[in-house]
Structure 1
């Protein structure tokens, strides 16, 4: 049995392209060896060109006998390492991939951050990810749009979170925008956390005093919005987190819970 596993492992290595475009497999293996399981959706078929996509890669590991189904977790199939021999092969694969690819955040990682946010209340890494993407992909033209761009980008990113439907409320007063991440409890009945995001924007040349003023305004507005009937009805039994985010130019300078 052990020799057969090693043969399958060699086949697996030949199937996976080793370049910077495919960091998913390394992060999947890293998760496996650290916590003993991964979650995802098993695919019944896929082309060789798409083998390194996250769910396809997990499915490939499963069909090679390197993962086994161990129930469900947070709405996805839970797959675990079946034995120590496979674990050793996965360690070897992880080391190989570390040497040949630069690991980075991607859509696969973003999905895991979203799940941690919904089920474990781990929200900081999610907003750090949004800030990193905003800073990385902003053009000079985007930067000129200032507050409108930051709010629009944040709203677009949160709209990709499958556990929530972001609702944006804007008042006429300048500089006020908030996003209520409406928890989709009809679909994910075991979700535990919901969020209000109070988003403020300061120009790059604004003073620290201005940033602090915006922070205080955001705290007041978050508390007011959290007490509204709309929010209280929507959150169900989830824990509501009030998150204050302040950008200065394209850089996030405040990200805290109040």
Structure 2
């Protein structure tokens, strides 16, 4: 039931959902988060680092384009605070189990009016491009077919996307934080497995990620991704597949790591590294990782000329090595302990280059 269904005479009621005066009631402001942390015993010296971590996990909500501050999810903050108060440590899982069940609510939204297959491109756009654009629907008529704008608006009202900005009169929406991204990634993995017909890949992926985390061995993970690439329906349309799609095939599966969280194209001093794998708080493991990813699309003409493919690959590898070298010279990289660097190049459907680059 939507709010406008509560009364048949909605014209005599006032919808306050989008009023800026009520914006800050929807979550905690940064100053309020600091107060909560003080109340559970965090020292003043530790609070800035705690807030920086919590911002990535729980912040990001904006319910009005003119609001001055993005809000923290109050439920998630209280979950963290209750764990931190007991042992002055991060919870083993940063995602509250109650929030984790929202995965099924997201799935139901996409399957509204039994139209999941029709709306899956919206999910793929969100996970691939990170942004959805639409007008906000203020009144819903569920007796009529739900439009894309209606679906996007429902995701916004439920807190599963939030306002990024406005351009050309349309709202641009994004995933607010790491917790919500992980929910979408889990759903995206389900869709990939449905399309590919490959089942029970998740335990195998998690084992392969453990091999990467502890032994710096990337090959088992890439072998499993290769099997998905061979089966994935969207990959069969080579014309529509590019490096961005490859990255968004890798990232949801990398997010299954029990020891690392994934950052895609973080802003660094000399650009935007493709993928970072950084150790989760309070997890004991050996390495952090930076990955430079490249994809070379092959036309039928290219496939018949092995020498040409080799030259293209060598050129792209040099570019990747230069980019990675620049990233490794930054203070951003130097602050990350036990950092391992990799170049990965997919040519057509084959991993042609999987190479570790020394970190000096």
TM-score using structure 2 length: 0.37
After the TM superposition, which segments of 4 or more aligned residues of structure 1 sit over 4 Å from their partners? none
Q: How well do the aligned residues superpose, as a CA RMSD in angstroms?
A: 2.6
Shift of residue 204 of structure 1?
A: 1.2
Aligned with 1:199: secondary structure? Answer: strand
Q: Which residue of 2 aligns with 1:130?
A: 225
Q: Residues of 2 paired with 1:131 and 1:160: CA distance?
A: 17
Q: Residues of 1 paired with 2:215 and 2:258: CA distance?
A: 15
Q: In structure 2, do the counterparts of structure 1 residues 148 and 244 end up closer, same or farther at CA, with 3 Å as the change threshold?
A: same
- 1:108 pairs, out of 203, 207, 212, with 203
Structure 1, gaps ≥5 residues long = 1-103
Q: In structure 2, do the counterparts of structure 1 residues 145 and 121 end up closer, same or farther at CA, with 3 Å as the change threshold?
A: closer
Shift of residue 142 of structure 1?
A: 6.5
Q: Residues of 2 paired with 1:111 and 1:125: CA distance?
A: 10
- 1:229 pairs, out of 316, 328, 331, with 331
Q: Residues of 2 paired with 1:107 and 1:202: CA distance?
A: 27
8 Å Cα contact 2:275/2:290 also seen in 1: yes
Aligned length: 147
- 2:212 pairs, out of 106, 113, 117, with 117
Shift of residue 143 of structure 1?
A: 5.5
Q: Residues of 2 paired with 1:181 and 1:167: CA distance?
A: 7
Q: Which residue of 2 aligns with 1:244?
A: 343
Structure 2, gaps ≥5 residues long = 1-198, 303-308
- 2:291 pairs, out of 197, 211, 222, with 197
Q: Residues of 2 paired with 1:245 and 1:135: CA distance?
A: 17
- 1:167 pairs, out of 257, 263, 287, with 263
Q: Residues of 1 paired with 2:211 and 2:233: CA distance?
A: 26
Q: Residues of 2 paired with 1:156 and 1:222: CA distance?
A: 22
Counterparts of residues 143-182 of structure 1 (less than 5 Å)? 144-169=240-265, 178-182=274-278
Aligned with 2:262: secondary structure? Answer: strand
8 Å Cα contact 1:142/1:149 also seen in 2: no
Q: Which residue of 2 aligns with 1:187?
A: 282
